[in-house]
Structure 1
Amino acid sequence: MSTYQMVSRTNYRRCMSEGWDGVIPVCEVSFTFLESVGCGSPPPLTDGDIKYTIKSNYSHQERVEFMCQSYYTMEGGPHRTCINGEWTGQMRCLKPCIVNEDLYRQHNITITSSDSKFFTHDEIIEFRCARGVPVGAVAMRQRCNGGVILLPTCQ
């Protein structure tokens, strides 16, 4: 609901025999009203959270900072701002790729860079054959894409 205020000098018109006299009154949204509209708690972020203590009410133009869980990568953000009773700002947390020892054994591969089983979104992982040679069309160098990674196979 918006509040309006009169911005013209006259706030009335008279009906005369020749028609209406005077200037058409003009109204606009009251900015003092807009500045006082706050927001409730910001919407939750899947696989993330607010960096500091959450409140139940926020003032107009107040902002909050979000962060993603460990190994997740933030796309967009990290801030949402309360504007006229609505939260603005878009972000999401992109999933990491997880490769466990069973998958390494199934594909007969290891990684060359580290012993980690967690890889962040957009991270490039270089594999090598544990023994044998690569087979199939999947390259030995792959990029993690939002929790999905193609694994090469060796025989």
Structure 2
Amino acid sequence: KGVSLVGGEHQTPVPVGCGMPPPLEFGDISTVVKNNYDHGETVEYFCQTYYTLDGQTHKTCSNGQWTGEMRCLRPCTVTLDDMRRNNIGLKYKPDSKMYSPHKDFLEFNCTTGSPDGRLAMRQQCIDGVMLLPSCQ
């Protein structure tokens, strides 16, 4: 990869194209993927359901290299069993399993007892991790 030279005495550099764009964990490309791309061509990425795109939406072929940074941040999953173990329930949703996207908040209440005070009853999902409060 690099620069190929064409022409006679002036040796004008011609930008090199790229191969297939790199995969995105928990994501995909929004169009049909080609084997080769010209310098300057772009591809658009998106994340799977419940995942949150962090960074740019496109990668660009730039002289043989793909440029543009992004990642898919994981959602949090809270199950009925998780909540039962901590004597809590979802304050506003009766679902048995809840998906919460990155940066989303869930609010819990005690099913029995009162909060143990170690964690707030309102918690935020951060890249697939949500701490659960407990009641006793």
TM value normalised by structure 2 = 0.89
The residue type equivalent to 2:100 in the other structure is F
Answer whether contact 2:3 2:63 (CA < 8 A) is retained: no
Which structure carries more relative contact order (alpha carbon 8 Å, separation 6+)? 2
Q: How does 1:6-155 map to 2 (within 5 A)?
A: 30-31=12-13, 33-34=14-15, 37-114=16-93, 115=95, 117-155=98-136
SS at match of 2:131: coil
Amino acid at match of 1:152: P
Letter aligned with residue 125 of structure 1: L
User: Which has the greater radius of gyration?
Assistant: 1
Equivalent-residue separation in structure 2 for 1:3 and 1:40 (angstroms) = 16
Identity, in percent, stands at 48
Post-superposition offset of 1:3: 4.0
Shift of 1:5: 7.7
State the superposition RMSD in angstroms: 1.9
Letter in 1 for 2:91: T
Q: Secondary structure at the match of 1:99?
A: strand
Q: CA deviation at 1:113?
A: 2.9
Instruction: List per-residue Cα deviations over 1:52-84 (Å, max 9, x = no partner).
Output: 111111111110001111100010011001011
Residue-by-residue CA offset, 1:9-65 (whole Å, 9 max, x unaligned): xx8xxxxxxxxxxxxxxx7x734x12xx21110110011111111111111111000
Amino acid at match of 1:59: D
Structure 2: tracts of 5 or more residues without a match: none
**Count of aligned positions:** 132
Which amino acid in 1 is paired with 2:27? G
Give distance in 2, aligned partners of 1:49 and 1:3. 31
Change (3 A) 1:55 1:124: same
